[in-house]
Chain A
């Protein structure tokens, strides 16, 4: 059974960089699929942030691209998110998920999510 678990600071100061890691178990990242980050501000809808392949190939949401870096560590079977210059608008629950990037393109396994609050 594929399992994903997000980890990282729950509080980040404005203008700093948000950093999260997603540990994958039950499936080797190197075996295929893309791996993605999705966020959800409190009481609002879902927003895709970006996705990465085990080779390091990445695709980002154009609205966040200038601030986002997603990386992968196949030796640890995990991938990470960095979001720079955060503001209160970046406060959200951040989910990691396995992404099927071949059409129809969907997320079939999700982590439980982690709340990140941006506040001084």
Chain B
């Protein structure tokens, strides 16, 4: 089974800061990597699919990159409404696996 790791597990940043989260797969997953945002008490929301494609309606300050085993998620300018936990998710051989999550809050 493919295992996913994320770092950091949590971070605090100021409004306007650039925030970067990394996700690593235990084996090559090409670019089959997606990112979700989950606000407290809410369902996850798909932000980025296929490593770098922005879901319709998602603000352009969110972006993703990477391929193979190493991926990056970036918020170019952190906004108060971005406080949430962010999860990466891979898909391989009909199995979906989520990373452990990165909690982002405001400093």
Stretch binding the partner chain, chosen from A11-19, A66-74, A105-113: A105-113
Tell me, in angstroms, the Cα distance from A11 to B87 when the chains sit together.
28
Q: Is the CB of A107 within 8 A of B94?
A: no
Across-interface contacts of B30 in A (CB, < 8 A)? 103
Q: Is the CB of B31 within 8 A of A104?
A: yes
Stretch binding the partner chain, chosen from A20-28, A45-53, A79-87: A45-53
Distance (Å) between the CB of A38 and the closest chain B CB?
8
Q: List B36-62 residues whose CB lies under 8 Å from chain A.
A: 36, 38, 42-46, 49-51, 55
**Given A104-B91, A105-B32, A113-B43, do A62 and B98 touch, yes or no (CB 8 Å)?**
no
Number of interface residues of B (CB under 8 A): 28
Indicate if B104 sits at the interface (CB-CB under 8 A): no
Q: Is the CB of B34 within 8 A of A48?
A: no
Q: Which of A47, A99, A108, A112 has the most CB of B within 10 A?
A: A108
Distance (Å) between the CB of A9 and the closest chain B CB?
20
Q: Is the CB of A110 within 8 A of B44?
A: yes
Taking A46-B89, A48-B97, A62-B95 as given, write out 15 further A-B residue pairs in contact, using a Cβ cutoff of 8 Å, ordered by the A residue number. A45-B98, A45-B101, A46-B36, A48-B96, A62-B1, A97-B43, A100-B49, A103-B30, A103-B32, A103-B50, A104-B51, A105-B91, A107-B46, A107-B89, A110-B43
Interface residues of B (CB under 8 A from A): 1, 30-34, 36, 38, 42-46, 49-51, 55, 87, 89, 91, 94-101
The 6 A-B pairs with the shortest beta carbon distances in the complex, nearest first, are A105-B91, A110-B43, A48-B96, A104-B32, A46-B98, A106-B34
